[in-house]
A and B are shown apart, each in its own frame.
Chain A
């Protein structure tokens, strides 16, 4: 098993794509590419212990940005390397791809059941006649969401993460190569339903959208601040249920603004369609 991500493990991510006739094809593991950037920025060199600056068999020297310190037979490598550097590098590659293709890519994050897929279905039904849209669906298991998206006539690829609790940039890169999206298109990346883990992993998206629904607690933003801190947009869904639930919209916005004072809000109901016009307006504005 690969030490980085578990590729080669049966629990690794699996990509599935649908053909025109509605059949689907498992495309195998979604992580064929991550080994390309395996060198990182660490250099190696051969070192002679007999240099003039040896002091009691213990010295430090620098080459590039890596310092080596030798103590007896062992040596200390001063790495200062970001742990998520590999994910970040591939995220930047994805971002470059989106820029080159003049695409607008959205990473949708929320807890399970807040209505990510419902908002997407409605959005795609209303927009994909005018704008080329694509979807990357992330779930631990099943093709259920991809099947729902496929029914809107949108090209979709399902990434099943197995045990994984979030999407990573290499999975998005593999999915993109299969999707081969058109220029000036909209890409929705529906992350695994989880308000914690996906926040840490940049996928290279143009904007990050966090969704909460009025059937959740209005203190979600301060309970799960990381998800709100990294987003540009917050959608408050299921507003048609407001008369029946104890959810204070203003309070939830106030909490969210404490975490991220730049956050912009859309209050919508994917069921009734209320408020979606403003969301569509924002998407269209971003594409032009």
Chain B
């Protein structure tokens, strides 16, 4: 359940920003969690209320953007959507690829 560590890291980032801005709470937090980021969204949702309880994020609205997985084939340069690490190029069938989107794991913005 590494989603707990992830939630705690998000709380930490929010706390630091609030400290710097001299604010006591976050109104809204925007997260970017790609399709291939390795985060189980149900687990994150499950753990969220526990992780944020008593923190600056306790009453914050949470907005999650989920970028799709995209890869560039390293053999034929074809761009293609991927949903799993083991998806291959639809053109040349190669498994060698560079993942160009879908691994994002970021706090994009905070409204404080």
Pair from one complex: yes
Binding site for B on A (CB under 8 A): 3-6, 38-40, 42-44, 71, 74-84, 86-87, 163-166, 168, 196-197, 199-201, 221-222, 225-226, 228-229, 255, 257-261
Question: Bound state CA distance, A71 and B13, in angstroms?
Answer: 21
Q: Which of B39-67 contact A (CB under 8 A)?
A: 55
Q: When each residue 2-19 of chain B gets 1 if its CB lies under 8 Å from chain A and 0 otherwise, what string results?
A: 101110111111011100
Q: Is the CB of A79 within 8 A of B107?
A: yes
Give the chain A neighbours of B6 by CB distance below 8 A: 83-84
Residues of B within 8 A of A5 (CB): 5, 8
Residues of B within 8 A of A221 (CB): 86
Q: Which of A4, A84, A86, A226 touches B105 (beta carbons < 8 Å)? A: A84
A74-B1 contact given A86-B12, A258-B88, CB 8 Å threshold: no
Which one of A77, A80, A197, A200 contacts B21 once the chains associate, using CB atoms below 8 Å?
A77
B57's nearest neighbour on chain A, judged by CB, is: A3
- Asked if A201 and B13 make an inter-chain contact with CB atoms under 8 angstroms apart, the answer reads no
Q: Are A83 and B106 neighbours in the complex by a CB distance under 8 Å?
A: yes
A8 to B11, CA, bound (A): 16
A42 touches B8 (CB 8 A): no
B 71-92 binary contact with A (CB < 8 Å = 1; else 0): 0000000000000111010000
- CA distance in complex: A264, B9 (Å): 33
| Alpha-carbon gap, A43 to B21, bound state (A) | 10
Cα separation A225 to B94 with both chains bound (whole Å): 17
Complex alpha-carbon distance, A4 and B88, angstroms: 37
Q: How far is the CA of A82 from the CA of B6 in the complex (A)?
A: 10
State which size class the interface on B falls in.
Answer: 35 or more
B residues less than 8 Å from A71 (CB atoms): 111
Q: Do A83 and B9 contact each other (CB < 8 Å), given the known contacts A42-B17, A200-B2, A229-B85?
A: yes
B101: min CB distance to chain A, Å: 15
Q: Does B27 contact A (CB under 8 A)?
A: yes
* Shortest Cβ distance from residue B81 to the other chain A in the assembled complex, whole angstroms: 16
Query: Contact at B86–A255, with CB atoms within 8 Å?
Result: yes
Please measure, in the bound complex, the distance between the C-alpha atom of A71 and the C-alpha atom of B112, giving whole angstroms: 10
- CB of B17 within 8 A of CB of A77, answer yes
Question: Nearest Cβ in chain A — how far from B8, in angstroms?
Answer: 6
Cross-chain contact A257 with B11 (CB below 8 angstroms) = no
| 17 A-B pairs in the complex with CB atoms less than 8 angstroms apart | A5-B5, A44-B21, A74-B27, A76-B109, A77-B17, A77-B109, A77-B112, A80-B107, A81-B106, A165-B2, A200-B38, A222-B86, A226-B38, A226-B85, A228-B85, A258-B95, A259-B86
- By the criterion CB–CB under 8 Å, are B12 and A4 in contact? yes
Partner of A74, one of B55, B105, B111: B111
Distance, CA A261 to CA B71, complexed state (A): 14
Partner pick for B8 among A6, A40, A261, CB 8 A cutoff: A6
Contact B112 A86 (CB under 8 A): no
Q: Which residue of A lies closest to B85 (CB)?
A: A225
* Docked pose: A5 CA to B10 CA in angstroms: 11
Q: Using Cβ atoms and an 8 Å threshold, which residues of chain A touch B85?
A: 225-226, 228-229, 259-260
Q: Are A80 and B108 in contact (CB under 8 A)?
A: yes
